[in-house]
Amino acid sequence: MAVTISDIAKEAGVSISTVSRVMNGTKPVSPELKDRVYKVIKKNNFKPNTLAQGLVTKKTNMIGVIVSDISNVVFGAMTKGINRVCEEKGYTIMICESGGEPERELKLLQLMEERQIEGVLFAGIDVNQKLVDFILGRSYPTVLVTQDASIGDDIVATVVHNNVQAMSDAVTFLIENGHRRIAYLGGPKYDFSSGKKRLQGYKSALTAAGIEIVDSYIEQGEFNFQFGYEGMKRIYEENSVLPTAVVTGSDVIALGAIQFLKNVHMDVPGDISVMGFDDSNFSTYFQPELSTVRISYDYEGEVAAKELIRRLEGETAEARTYYVPHKIIRRSTTKTL
């Protein structure tokens, strides 16, 4: 049977509240009493229930992390950055997966509140008015990471990369390398930042260069290999004049597109250049190596965790949007015309 705080108090000959004061440092006790209690704790290898302890101290050192898809390599890298900072500062993270469902995201926030979390890092799909109202009504701080609020900037603290500019830079890179027929395989329409904003960046770059936007060159779907394959297949089958380049919303989508092109005996980049997005670890192991947009999601998670902890420690309460940098990476899947 597990040892309880009551057992420790009885063996040490003190009250339960005295054991609590010794462990939590809430009130001073004599050195002799502290030594006696700690000896009993050590002897019994007693480890207090963190949640129960938090009910007394009002501090659990627990931070919630909500992501839409735990299998996505982007969130894996982001979580590593978050966890590294939290461990250094003495916090433990609790990770939950929402599946990108807004109602489930609200339920998870409520669940974390019941678990006495002290703050939340939220990587949702559409941070809309309902969600923002809920976040702003909480007593604990929330920082958005990898996702903007769809109702406007600087309403909730946000750490994200500039999706519009990053995609615009990727398209501009292809234009500067001689491409004018550029297709787009992007993330889902319901995803505000990685879906809608990247499409906006694609269109703005073409418009700025005086290039017509061709609707049949645009496909949107999930961030997976299958969509990359099927989306590229539709563009190939439905256009009599093929694009010379394809820009994608993720490296995984790009790999699916390249696989389809290989299956129809089209060379990458000889016949069609392909541009990824994220610079995932596998992008240099794939042949040919993938040209892409580098986003350091590890660093993004690190910055978001630091921003949240600053709020927990009372250093700031200002809602601001912090953009982490991105970089265009030229590899073997793109060529100059």
Cα 157-132-186 angle, rounded to 5 deg: 80
- Same fold for the domain at 62-162+297-325 and the one at 163-295? yes
The 10s digit of each residue's pLDDT in 62-85 is 899 999 888 888 999 999 999 999
User: Domain 5-57 - what CATH class?
Assistant: mainly alpha
Residue 3, exposed/middle/buried by CB under 10 A (0-12, 13-18, 19+)? middle
Type and span of the H or E element at 275:
strand 273-275
Q: Is residue 173 within 8 Å of 328, Cβ to Cβ?
A: yes
Question: Helix 31-43 and helix 5-12: axis angle, to 10°?
Answer: 120
Architecture of domain 62-162+297-325: 3-Layer(aba) Sandwich (3.40)
Q: Is residue 119 within 8 Å of 312, Cβ to Cβ?
A: yes
Cα 25-31-36 angle, rounded to 5 deg: 90
The structural domains of the chain, with segments of one domain joined by +, span 5-57, 62-162+297-325, 163-295
- Residue 57 pLDDT: 47
User: Domain 163-295 - what CATH class?
Assistant: alpha beta
State the pairing for strand pair 292-295/326-329.
antiparallel
- Residue 317 pLDDT: 73
Query: For the chain, how far is it from start to end, CA to CA, in angstroms?
Result: 74
**Tens digit of pLDDT per residue, the chain (337 long)?**
567 777 878 888 888 777 777 766 656 778 788 888 888 887 887 666 554 454 454 567 889 999 988 888 899 999 999 999 999 988 999 999 998 888 888 888 888 888 888 899 998 778 888 888 888 888 889 999 999 998 887 889 999 999 999 999 999 999 999 999 999 999 999 899 999 999 999 999 999 999 999 999 999 999 999 999 999 999 999 999 999 999 999 999 999 999 999 999 999 999 999 999 999 989 999 899 999 999 999 999 999 999 999 998 888 777 889 999 999 999 999 999 9
- Residue 51 pLDDT: 46
Any residues with CB less than 8 A from the CB of 328 and at least 6 apart, and which?
A: 169, 170, 173, 293, 294
Q: Give the CB-side neighbour count of residue 240, counting CA atoms within 13 A.
A: 0
C-alpha 201/C-alpha 224 separation (Å) is 21
C-alpha 337/C-alpha 335 separation (Å) is 6
- Residue 27 pLDDT: 64
Q: Where are the beta strands (DSSP E) in 68-172?
A: 92-97, 119-123, 142-145, 158-161
Quote the DSSP letter at residue 276: -
- Residue 55 pLDDT: 45
From the list 182, 151, 154, the residue with the least C-alpha distance to 167 is 182
